[in-house]
Amino acid sequence: MKNDTILLLTPFEDCSQHRLTKHIPYKLVISVPIETCFYQPLQKIFSNVVLYDYWRRSVEIGINGVNNEIIELVKKEHPKYVLWISIGEYYEIKESTFEMIRKEKSIVIGWLFDVAIRFEYYSQWLIPYIDYFIVDDREVLVKFKELNAWATQAICTGPGIDVDWTTQNEMFDISFIGSFRANREQYINEIKKSNFSIHLFGESGGKFVSNEGMLKIYEASRINLNFSMNYTNTKLAIKARIFEVCLSGGFLLTEYFPGIEDYFEIDREIVCFTNSQEMLEKIEYYLNHDDERRKIAKAGWERANREYSAFRILSRVFQEIENDMQNGKGRTPQKLTMPRKIRKRVSDFYFTWGKAYLEENYCGFWKDTLQLSLSYDLFNLKARYYYISGLLPLPLRIRLLHMYHLFEKYSRITTYGRWAESIPALRGIKRHIKEHFYM
């Protein structure tokens, strides 16, 4: 692989301050440190890594422009692999683009995050367009294989970090970096009620933390907490945080999930709990047994750096793919026909972008993107309304879009059952129509 080129299709720059962001639900904020998790490790594996930031280019040249640019880039660079990083349920890269990439003899790899949550309505419908899948859930791995798709499990981690174990600068007793999703707040409230000193960072603490700052917090904390419930509060699952803490030399106290013992030896490299009472008991114990705690942290750090750094994981994944290709097993994935309810989701995704382009008067971009939305669902009335509005002269277009916003506001009010507020809103819409169309 040292003589090969790989094209990395990924969000990279923070686009959250771009004017389009107010129209895009996921705010174009990248939550994964792509440079240290993917770009730098890949540079050690491949002779040439071409990074393409499809979020940044989407706000600069539009969805169609992005897809055309990717195809031209593949024709120019002739990458052996095209690695697509999919953080959520996003469709900036079109199915037809993946097909064109494969026609150019490049191998398409999809690295999908939170796949267990999105498999039914997102991930499985990508099977006809992706050669290899990298997923973070073992149960979903089985589902991919049942559909005759090639998939392997891997976790996005980070770089190995050198730690000076002769000096310990422990600033915090207990730390947690993350949000209050699922059952986390209840656990943290139990800690507070027990009068332990806990420091919260990230969304839970209202303090933004850079990736570099996060790693320093892990190293400087006596106990680093991890909670394993997924954000839909439906399943205990593996989290990248367990590897990040251990790679940083931090002591990890994590909520147990089935299979964690396959990665680390419990009570020798990490420590687990299954309920709040057990968590509190182990917090008290390890805050009072420094030598034992540091011994476990060091063992976890050694294991993580030996097996779970981003470089180690990516090397293993690509070796598995190379072995599969050399064995020439060949697979014919099950043919899947996207049902209408899924096509409507895709249509709504492109409508959101088309709406953003039109609202911000991005010449040309809105038209292609709304046409793309309608190609998935001809009956997407929102997309059709915006498409017709975009064809009209600017003053009339502005009026029609303002009407849409009023109806949208009215719809939200009635959806939440605030009927008393809905009547004035409806009167406002009627008044607006009279003022502008029946003068």
DSSP string, 102-128: HHTTPEEEEEESSHHHHTTTTGGGGGG
Share above pLDDT 90 across residues of the chain, in percent, rounded to a whole number: 67
- According to the model, what pLDDT value does residue 370 have? 97
Same domain assignment for residues 353 and 417:
yes
Phi, psi angle pair for 96, to nearest 5°: -65, -30
DSSP 425: H
| Residues 183 and 248 occupy one common structural domain | yes
Q: CB under 8 Å, gap of 24 or more: what pairs does 303-308 form?
A: 303/246, 303/264, 303/265, 303/269, 304/157, 304/160, 304/243, 304/246, 304/247, 304/264, 305/160, 305/161, 305/247, 308/155, 308/157, 308/243, 308/246, 308/247, 308/263
Q: Which residues contact 143 (CB under 8 A, 6 or more apart)?
A: 119, 124
Q: Let me know if residue 346 belongs to a domain.
A: yes
Query: Residue 423 pLDDT more than 90?
Result: no
pLDDT for residue 429 is more than 60 = no
Residues 282 and 347 in one domain: no
Number of H helices, E strands in the chain: 17, 11
- The number of distinct structural domains making up the chain is 3
Tens digit of each residue's pLDDT (9 = 90 or more) over 114-153: 888 889 999 999 999 999 999 988 889 999 999 999 999 9
Residue 259 covered by a domain: yes
User: In terms of domains, do 193 and 251 share one?
Assistant: yes
Confidence (pLDDT) at 436: 46
Specify whether the backbone of 236 is left (phi greater than 0), alpha (psi in -120 to 50) or beta: beta
Q: pLDDT band for position 169 (50/70/90)?
A: confident
Considering the domain architecture, whether residues 88 and 24 belong to the same structural domain is answered as yes
Residue 334 domain-assigned (yes or no): no
Beta bridge partners of 319: none
41 and 85 in one domain?
Answer: yes
Distance CA 39, CA 319 (A): 17
pLDDT of residue 129: 94
- At 281, phi and psi to the nearest 5? -65, -40
For 176-210, write each residue's pLDDT tens digit: 998 888 789 899 999 999 999 999 998 887 877 88
Same-domain status, 185 and 205:
yes
Same domain, 153 and 9: yes
Residue with tokens 């020439």, as numbered in its chain: 328
Question: Range of 200's domain?
Answer: 172-307
Indicate if 350 and 318 belong to the same structural domain: no
Whichever domain contains 212, its CATH number is 3.40.50.11660
How many residues belong to the chain?
A: 439
For residue 331, name the pLDDT band (cuts at 50, 70, 90).
low
Domain of 103, CATH number, reads: 3.40.50
Same domain, 323 and 264: no
Tell me the pLDDT band of 410, cut-offs 50, 70 and 90.
low
Q: Are residues 291 and 390 in the same domain?
A: no
438: confidence class by pLDDT, cuts 50, 70, 90: very low
Residue 67 pLDDT exceeds 90: yes
Q: Domain for residue 164, yes or no?
A: no
What is the structure's pLDDT at 117?
86
Residue 166, domain member (yes or no): no
Q: Give the mean pLDDT of 51-69.
A: 96
